[in-house]
Structure 1
């Protein structure tokens, strides 16, 4: 969950008002100065990178990606099982309040499988095979099913750090897939079921689902392959981030979301038992 809202959203998008608790002095100071720090270290991270510093990065640099394309239908089937609990899946901003400009109402839902490198044990009860596949990703940070409502637009924004890369694989894609797409810098890609790609989310990117169908992908973040100095800086940066509200709030909200999902799963199991009980 490295995305951070920026001031790059198109003027045509109505700007939601910032929640009051995000306006507090200390949080605003951390965010303002954090952005300055990120800009200063991005150049060093780029120089330390052992993969190209481009908006999209060729899959050939990540030979382990094939495990996802080889097993994409299994991942899709587990995503479909998750969608049975659609009403209990939180919107992105409900987990990460700082994403209030990107995520509105229930239009962008996120079912977290790994958060900050940690497997979400309750959620992955529904997705054991997908979780096992994700365990093969070197230095995995975050993984989720990203569920985008019909007609929704995620405004232009940039991620937090060049030390992390992002991958998408299409699972449930609208039939008119050319209208369901992502722009990264000046490159536009329409998702396709079973296809995977990697990009650097510190480049400006935005998403459109200009169809009347839901879009579901597996999204995961992992450490950029870098030389020793870059890896050390990235580790230090992420440790510092974990001390801030930008980490602490989502961590707390993730636990609450897992608790709600666990209750929903128990209720569903109880309902199934009641239906199968001949005495009932």
Structure 2
């Protein structure tokens, strides 16, 4: 799956503008944030986190059913060519339920409990089952905007959890089945699965609670991202992947 030639020609200008304005936008968003501007955030600030942890057994059951046919889960780099730098091979796979607020109906139907729960998260941007195969690595990088926060909930954690981790700034975190943690991905972070088992999580991106000028900057930046070729390509590639899988099932 490749990006259209016209989109590639348009991107350099948009990327330059975005990179130039991003520090200003992030500073204003951080100033207007209603939660701390720290690498890790307390789950207690987000009431929906408790509901997700309580429903973990049901979500794990849905995740396991999808993993029974894990060859049908696409590599992230196939869905979003812009992620090729941090998804250097096919070991990072993504089963999207929502992408920038837009549901993927075929996938939501396969995980209805999870889809319904994440739909209730205020400011939901994206929600997906994120699968990192044995030996998989996500190189150090930073997210693009303070306007979004990330949540990870363990659904299928390797038994050798000490060798499967994410580092966010100076913090090293390990996933536990059912447990959820929240972090700001504009801090440098990296992931490694140095085990012989798959790591499976529910990966959520949601809007940072903000006010005032920070809220306005958040609206402008995220609005631009949602209309960008970056998002359109990913949405088109998800639809194309699902069409191909549906056709293969008919054979």
State the shift of 1:237 in Å.
1.4
| Structure-2 separation of matches of 1:21 and 1:192 | 43
In structure 1, distance between residues paired with 2:176 and 2:5 = 39
Q: C-alpha distance in 2, partners of 1:22/1:78?
A: 39
CA-to-partner distance for each residue in 1:198-256, whole Å, 9 max, x for gaps? 00111111001011110000001110001143222212212222332212211211211
Pair 244,20 (structure 1): closer, same or farther in 2 beyond 3 Å: closer
**How far 1:21 sits from its partner (Å)?**
5.9
Cα deviation for residue 73 of structure 1 reads 1.2
Distance 1:249 1:24 in 2: 11
Partner residue in 1 for 2:195: 211
Please report the TM-score for the alignment, with normalisation by the length of structure 1. Answer: 0.84
Q: How far apart, in 2, do the equivalents of 1:197 and 1:238 lie?
A: 23
Count of equivalent residues: 249
- How do 1:1-280 and structure 2 match up within 5 A? 24-263=8-247, 266-267=249-250
SS at match of 1:203: coil
Partners in 1 of 2:74 and 2:144 — Cα distance? 22
Bigger Rg, structure 1 or 2: 1
How far apart in 2 are the matches of 1:28 and 1:134? 34
Gapped regions of structure 2 (runs ≥ 5): none
Aligned partners of 2:14 and 2:76: how far apart in 1? 21
Please state how far the C-alpha of 1:117 moved relative to its aligned partner.
0.4
For the residues of structure 2 that align with 1:135 and 1:228, how far apart are their CA atoms?
Answer: 25
**Are the aligned partners of 2:73 and 2:94 in contact in 1 as well (CA < 8 Å)?**
yes
